Amino acid sequence: MDEDESSFLRACRGNRTQRTPVWMMRQAGRYLPEYRAVREKVSFLELCRAPQLCAEVTMQPLERFDLDAAILFSDILVVFDAMGVDVEFAPGPRLPNPVRTTSDVARLRWGDPREELRYVMDAVRACKRAVTGRAPLIGFCGAPLTIISYLIEGGGSRDFEHTKRMLFSAPEVFEGLMSAMTSLLVQYLQGQVEAGADAIQIFDSWAGALTPQDYRARVLPHVDRLVREARGFGVPVIMFARGNAHHLEGIASTDADVIGVDWTMGLSTAIDVVGEDRVVQGNLDPMLLLGAPETLVARTREVVAAGRRARAHVFNLGHGISRHTDPEMAKLMIDTVHE
């Protein structure tokens, strides 16, 4: 298959496709026994730093399922390697030295990811060689808020206390971090596109932590710049923010080619918000893959039907696939989308 003819890329560019293209967030991961077999031999970070293994793991779900896109195997948090910031996965991310004060921020190094994340660029090239003729390759990064929240909190968080303390008590420090991080992410995406990524997805996993007012005023301008500059590299950009229900309008105000929709909102309602002239991606609740097959099939058909009202629709889960998923259920969902 020629990548230019792929239903995924055509849908991203706003063309209605005969068959709804489908891929799954976290499609290469622990729900696959062949992934777990690789992980018995190497740690998660060793895997991310071994381009050949990344290509192998990226291909695993494509060998099993009729997927319309592949995604680079990596993580949004490896970007800290360009900044000399340590991160561990146990299995959730942990940063032993969180950045909270003005002097912590001043000590940060803003390396060029095109140089310092060579192993990611090599992984893109290796994945691209592996997927060519089979499917387009999606590159990705975290959105600036999501990345700096890990930096400030020192890991995952429920309340984002430290991030919000900075936002509300030292707004200029927050702004400086957001701005510098956005510039670094632009370079990172440029490197991935130059290495062969056919599309880009930006993950704002923690968008939902902020009020609509703060997201719009303090975050959206940076997301808007990241999307605009990434589009300038010539590939479609998918913008996925979790906590959609209150940020979707803001996200739709960016130039993103595709608006990712999480599972917390009905796809039809999301299309009302973003407009029928936009391309949407989403949004089956990944936990439906843990339920009864008949329920999965019925709900998958509902999402496909709802997507027909959009300019074009890329079927996906509304968040990453659960590690407890039976791969046969993923197959059933994908085949249902295509039927």
In the numeric block, which tokens belong to residue 73?
A: 């195997």
Give CA–CA dist 54/124, Å, rounded: 9
Distance of CA 185 to the CA centre of its chain: 13
Give CA–CA dist 315/307, Å, rounded: 8
Q: How far is the CB of 79 from ligand CP3 (least distance, A)?
A: 11
Shorter beta-carbon distance to ligand CP3: residue 26 or 162:
26
In the numeric block, which tokens belong to residue 98?
A: 């969180």
Among 9, 25, 304, 333, binds ligand CP3 (CB under 6 A): 25
Q: Should residue 71 be labelled a site residue for ligand CP3 when binding is judged by CB under 6 A?
A: yes
Residues 124-183 that bind ligand CP3 (CB under 6 A): 140, 156
Let me know how long the chain is.
339
What are the catalytic residues?
Answer: 26, 30, 39, 75, 150
Residues 194-213 that bind ligand CP3 (CB under 6 A): 203, 205
In the numeric block, which tokens belong to residue 331?
A: 């197959």
Q: Should residue 320 be labelled a site residue for ligand CP3 when binding is judged by CB under 6 A?
A: yes
Q: How far is the CB of 157 from ligand CP3 (least distance, A)?
A: 11
Among 8, 73, 160, 215, binds ligand CP3 (CB under 6 A): 73
Give, rounded to a whole angstrom, the gap between the first and last alpha carbons of the chain. 20
Q: Should residue 31 be labelled a site residue for ligand CP3 when binding is judged by CB under 6 A?
A: no
Among 22, 69, 76, 304, binds ligand CP3 (CB under 6 A): 76
Shorter beta-carbon distance to ligand CP3: residue 25 or 258:
25
Q: Should residue 291 be labelled a site residue for ligand CP3 when binding is judged by CB under 6 A?
A: no
Among 9, 11, 22, 28, binds ligand CP3 (CB under 6 A): 28
Closest by CA to 184, choosing from 103, 109, 89, is 109
Q: How far is the CB of 217 from ligand CP3 (least distance, A)?
A: 23
Integer angstrom CA distances of residue 6 from 67, 94, 306: 11, 38, 22
Among 10, 13, 26, 134, binds ligand CP3 (CB under 6 A): 26
* Strand intervals (E) in the chain: 70-71, 88-89, 93-94, 137-142, 199-204, 237-241, 258-260, 279-284, 312-317
Strand order in the sheet with 258-260: 70-71, 137-142, 199-204, 237-241, 258-260, 279-284, 312-317
Q: How far is the CB of 10 from ligand CP3 (least distance, A)?
A: 22
Residues 225-244 that bind ligand CP3 (CB under 6 A): 242
Catalog residues that contact ligand CP3 under the rule CB under 6 A. 25-30, 39, 44, 71, 73-77, 89, 91-93, 140, 156, 203, 205, 242, 320
